[in-house]
Amino acid sequence: MKQLMWVAAALAAVSGCAGQTAREQLNIADPAVARGGFGTPQDAAAGAALKSWTDVYTPVKRRAAALDALQSRLERDGAKKATYAGAAAQCWIDAGREELARRDEWGFVEEAIGAATALVDGLDAGDGRTVRAPALRTTVRVRPDLWDELASLQADARFAHCAPAQQRAACAQVGLMHAGHEAWTRAFSDAQQRVVAVQVTLRDAARALSACAAPVAAPVAAPAQVIALPADTLFAFDRGDLAALSAAGRAELERLAAQLRGQQQVGRLQVSGYSDRLGSRAYNLRLSQQRAQTVTRLLRGLGVSVPIDTRGLGSVQPGTVCAVRARAELIGCLAPDRRVEIRVVGALPGAARGSLRDLQMGAPDAVGIAAATPAEPEDVHGAALSAGAADQLRTNGSRLGN
């Protein structure tokens, strides 16, 4: 009898040493898991079943039937099972069945049912891309290095298009959380054995990923770029015809056309005319359209052969906020709204876009940084007027500079 007691004591000692070794190998992030007795925490961080948890999981009574129902739903999803979410759902169902057979009453079976349900619901809704691990009460994080290895696989550009790697990685994620549950229940040796299996699965996932070709990126059109002309060019006041184009404006457009002719990656141009808000809407639309058409005709005559969209937009998309009342101040404040924009659109992907910087451009999404109309006629008193002043006079029924 005494000899049997010695054998039992020796076996207990060996088991305790093995458990201690396994616990150290697991590199458990939560030190509370290693504590026991009266000093063991009983708060939410330690896994206490709070009302928010019991309200969700306590109603799950027929656990085996719930797992069977989930399996049936997953089978009906067919090819969707091959996605990350589909593989994860299957592994959660398997984990729930395994712990149910062990008569686990800690709540892990219920949480496995919940995790699988969320994944199957997502598959039914057409989303099979879920890779985020659920937050569970009955697990603890083990082997952070393996979690990092899993994250590295998921971050690879090939991963989203590599179903074999996704399936293995999904089950590795579930396996790590299952091992975390076993560590949480102090079954450290069981957790360590499961981690060894997870390591094999991760190696298989890495090999599967290496066999998948990198996806070919679809061509993406370069963003449109706005060419900003100096404000002392283009048209005389209240004019939009070619004869009213100033010498400086013509020279600037000639220089621009020469540069555009050398840019093979340019897909098309948009020439847009704008006015300020003074004057009638109909007149401003006509004037802005005339100016845009004149610029387009000149560029065509100068050998620019890419497609050109021409439009007059009147006073839309103003770039100013002017609260002044005095006419001269208001006219000056609204000057940036009187403009013509030339927007480079559809530069070909992969082309030498750096050469476009040689053009006089604003920011890709800039608005209101093209040419104004400073060369103004004089009113009846001999004072120089801006285009805004003429717009104001047009509102009052006067017409100047036709």
pLDDT digits (tens, 9 = 90+) for 235-258: 765 677 888 788 888 888 898 888
Query: Binning pLDDT at 50, 70 and 90, where does residue 165 land?
Result: very high
Q: Which residues pair with 339 in a beta bridge?
A: 274
392-402 confidence digits (pLDDT tens) = 333 333 232 22
How much is the pTM? Answer: 0.51
What is the mean predicted confidence (pLDDT) over 258-268?
Answer: 79
pLDDT at position 231 is 42
Whether the pLDDT of residue 35 is over 70: the answer is no
Mean pLDDT (whole number) for 5-25: 55
Q: For domain 225-395, give its CATH number from 3.40.50.970, 3.10.180.10, 3.30.1330.60, 2.160.10.10.
A: 3.30.1330.60
- Closest by Cα among 231, 338, 324 to 277: 338
Long-range contacts of 169-172 (CB under 8 A, 24+ apart): 169/84, 169/131, 169/202, 169/205, 170/84, 170/85, 170/87, 170/88, 170/91, 170/131, 171/87, 171/88, 171/90, 171/91, 171/201, 172/146, 172/198, 172/201, 172/202, 172/205
Count helices and strands in the chain by DSSP H and E runs: 12, 4
Residue 52: per-residue pLDDT: 76
d(CA 182, CA 166): 24
C-alpha neighbours within 13 Å on the C-beta side of residue 289: 7
Mean pLDDT for the chain overall? 76
State the pLDDT at residue 339: 80
List the beta strands (DSSP E) in 69-155.
Answer: none
What is the predicted pLDDT for the residue at 215? Answer: 67
Task: Report the pLDDT value the prediction gives residue 222, as an integer from 0 to 100.
Answer: 61
E strand or H helix at 271: strand 268-274
**CB distance 181 to 142 below 8 Å:** no
142, burial (CB in 10 Å: exposed 0-12, middle 13-18, buried 19+): buried
Segments of the chain assigned to CATH 3.30.1330.60: 225-395
Q: Flag whether pLDDT at 161 surpasses 80.
A: yes
Residues 334 and 276: beta-carbon distance below 8 Å: yes
Per-residue CA distances from 95 to 67, 112, 181, 231 (Å): 10, 7, 11, 71
Mean pLDDT of 36-55: 61
User: Looking at residue 229, what is its pLDDT?
Assistant: 60
pLDDT score, position 364: 32
- pLDDT category of residue 41 using cuts at 50, 70 and 90: low
Q: Over 60: is that where the pLDDT of 11 sits?
A: no
- Both tokens of 254, joined, read 């000639």
Least confident stretch, 119-133, 178-192, 326-340, 357-371? 357-371
Confidence of residue 351 (pLDDT cuts 50, 70, 90): very low
Give strand pairing partners of 308.
269
Range in 43-47, 289-293, 358-362, 369-373 the model is least confident about: 369-373
Q: Stretch 101-120: mean pLDDT, rounded?
A: 93
Comparing 96 with 222, which gets the higher pLDDT?
Answer: 96
Packed helices 2-26 and 188-211: angle between N→C axes, nearest 10 degrees? 40
Q: Which long-range contacts (CB under 8 A, 24 or more apart) does 191-198 make?
A: 191/22, 191/26, 191/142, 192/22, 192/25, 192/26, 195/25, 195/26, 195/142, 195/143, 195/146, 198/143, 198/146, 198/172
Structure confidence by residue, pLDDT tens digits, 195-223: 999 999 999 999 999 999 876 766 666 66
Query: Is the pLDDT at 164 greater than 70, yes or no?
Result: yes
Indicate whether 350 pLDDT > 70. no
Percent of the chain, pLDDT > 90?
Answer: 35
- 297: nearest Cα among 401, 276, 289: 289
Distance CA 183, CA 161 (A): 34
**d(C-alpha 315, C-alpha 172), whole Å:** 60
**Exposure string (b/e) for 360-392, b if CB count within 10 Å is 16 or more?**
ebbeeebbbbbbbbbbbeeeeeeeebbbbbbbb
Segment 304-324 shows an average pLDDT of: 86
Looking at residue 242, the DSSP 8-state letter turns out to be: G
Of residues 228 and 157, which shows the higher confidence score? 157
Cα distance between residue 118 and residue 121, in whole Å: 5
- Percent of the chain whose predicted confidence (pLDDT) is above 70: 70
pLDDT at 26: 85
Considering only residues 152 and 343, tell me which one the structure prediction assigns the higher pLDDT.
152
Which pLDDT value is given to residue 47?
Answer: 60
